Amino acid sequence: MEQRTPEPGPTRFEGAVPDRSEQRVVTIPNVVSVLRLLLVPVFGYLILTRQDGLALLVLMISGASDYLDGYLARRLHQESALGRLLDPAADRLYILCTLLGLAWRDVVPWWLVAIIVARDLFLATLLPGLRARGYRSLPVHFLGKAATFNLLYAFPLILLGDGDGVLAAVAQPAGWAFAWWGTGLYWWAGVLYLRQWRQIVREVPAP
C-alpha cells in the first residue's frame, strides 16, 4: 500500500519573528512608530521639568499613534518585521522614561524601577539563544500586552495623583492599582516568554 508523505503544517513557532521575515523598512506605519519614538526624550524632559500637563498630552498623542500604526499596518497590508520590533520598543521606552522621571521626583520608589527593569534585562539574556536559531523575538503573549496596558495607564495616573484636589485623590489609588497589577503581569508574562524560549531552543537546532 502506497504511503503518502504528510504535507508540512504550520510551524509551532510561527508567532515568532524569524530573520527571513519580510524586511520592508520605509512604510507608513513604521514612520508613525519612529515619530512616536522621537517623542520619548521630549516626554522625559517634560516630566523632569515638572511640566506634567504637557507630558500627559505627549503621552496621549503617543497612545493614539500606537493604535494608528497598528491600524495602518493591517489596513494597508504593510506589516513588517521592523514594525513588530518598533512598537513594543516604544512601549518599553515610555514605561522606562516615566518610571525614571517619577523615581527622580520621589513619586515612585526606586525599588519599583529595579523590579520592572530587571524583567527586561532578564528577557534580554534570552536573545542570543533566539538569534542563534534565526529568530529576532518571541511571539507576543496576551499577558504581555495586558501588562504593558496596565503600566502605560498606571504611571500617568500616578503622575496625576502627584498633586492636590479631587482628581489627584482619585488618580493616585487607581494608578497604584494599575501599577501593582501591571508589575505582576509583567513578570508572569516574562515566565511564559521563558517557556517559549526553552521550547524553541529544544526543538529548533542552532546552525
CB 31 within 8 Å of CB 73 = no
Joined grid coordinates for residue 23: 524586511
pLDDT in tens, 131-169: 888 777 777 778 888 898 898 889 888 988 887 888 888
pTM for this one?
A: 0.75
pLDDT in tens, 23-39: 667 788 888 888 888 88
- 140: helix, coil or strand? coil
Q: In DSSP terms, which residues pair with 137 in a beta bridge?
A: 17
Work out the pLDDT band at 75, boundaries 50, 70, 90. confident
Cα separation, 81 vs 73, in Å, equals 11
Q: Where are the alpha helices (DSSP H) in the chain?
A: 28-48, 52-75, 81-104, 110-124, 127-131, 142-161, 166-203
